[in-house]
Structure 1
Amino acid sequence: MNHNPLPVMLQVRDISGRLVLQESIPAWSQVHKVAMEASATGLYQCELRWGIRSAQTRVLIEGGGP
């Protein structure tokens, strides 16, 4: 039995599929904050990969207003 958790890779892509962020996250981490301040308002595809598993979601970043 393997007790060493697999590292998790986070990838964030913009609507055109361009990779805008890639980070390795500790496997034990339950909350991870991502700084996207250099990114434009829009829709982003986020993917988490660990071993042969993966999970995807979309995130909408809206402008902060005036």
Structure 2
Amino acid sequence: MKSSTSFVVLNLAGLGHALSNGVGVTPAMGWKPYNAFSCETTEAQFHAQVNALVSTGLAALGYKYLNL
């Protein structure tokens, strides 16, 4: 039973569909400051985080998300 299950699983593994569009090559490149500020994030802190992504060079490396 174990060998027949393995046979079926291995044969079905090749049937998966994937796009070759570059999505998933890197993880989501972003920063979520919730752990640093919790629910008390202000507009000034948000702008400071955006400026930090740019000034540290992370934006040039592909970091483009800043989540609240």
TM-score for both structures, normalised by structure 2 = 0.25
Please identify the structure whose Cα radius of gyration is greater: 2
Q: Which has the higher contact order (CA 8 A, sep 6+)?
A: 2
**Is the helix fraction higher in 1 or 2?**
2
TM-score for both structures, normalised by structure 1 = 0.26
